[in-house]
Amino acid sequence: MKITDILKKDMILSNLQASEKQGILQELAIVSAPAASLSADEIFNVLMDRERIGSTGLGGGIGIPHGKIKGLQNPVICLGLSRQGADFESMDGLPTHIFFLLLTPENSTGLNLKLLAQISRMLKNGPFKEILLNTSDLDQLYAAIQREDEEF
């Protein structure tokens, strides 16, 4: 399964407004709620529960907030970009700019790990990260993600 099998253009926020973790998670939850057929509050609570275990701010400007949700039928991926950077309590203490939200069904550990690994591999590509950080046009962002997704 490719990231772009799940991530659709309308699930990309090219200019997140929040500057801290809770606000970022709320923005991502609002956009992903219709695709998940859940309320934004339900998604936000699952994400915050996961963050209490440990921050999903990986460092290097990247955050991959994720959670497993009972009753979710299909995985949901949302991309959010913070131009100013946000305090996401990342491992390196630096602002986070790129957020890939991943929601998976509760009993889909294998799929969850596979998608997390794919997202992580994509974000290890420096030129790809630069495109995400320096492009605000949704068509161009989505095309860049499709190109990178083809590599896997």
CA distances from 22 to 18, 30, 41, 65 (A): 8, 12, 12, 11
Gap between the Cα atoms of 92 and 107, Å rounded: 31
Structural contact between residues 15 and 80, judged by C-beta atoms closer than 8 angstroms: no
Catalytic one among 31, 44, 66, 145?
66
Going through the chain in order, the beta strands assigned E by DSSP cover: 12-13, 57-59, 62-63, 66-69, 76-86, 96-105
97 catalytic, yes or no?
A: no
Structural contact between residues 3 and 119, judged by C-beta atoms closer than 8 angstroms: yes
| Angle ∠(75,41,84) on CA atoms, nearest 5 | 80
Q: Chain-centre distance of CA 91, in angstroms?
A: 17
Catalytic sites, residue numbers: 66
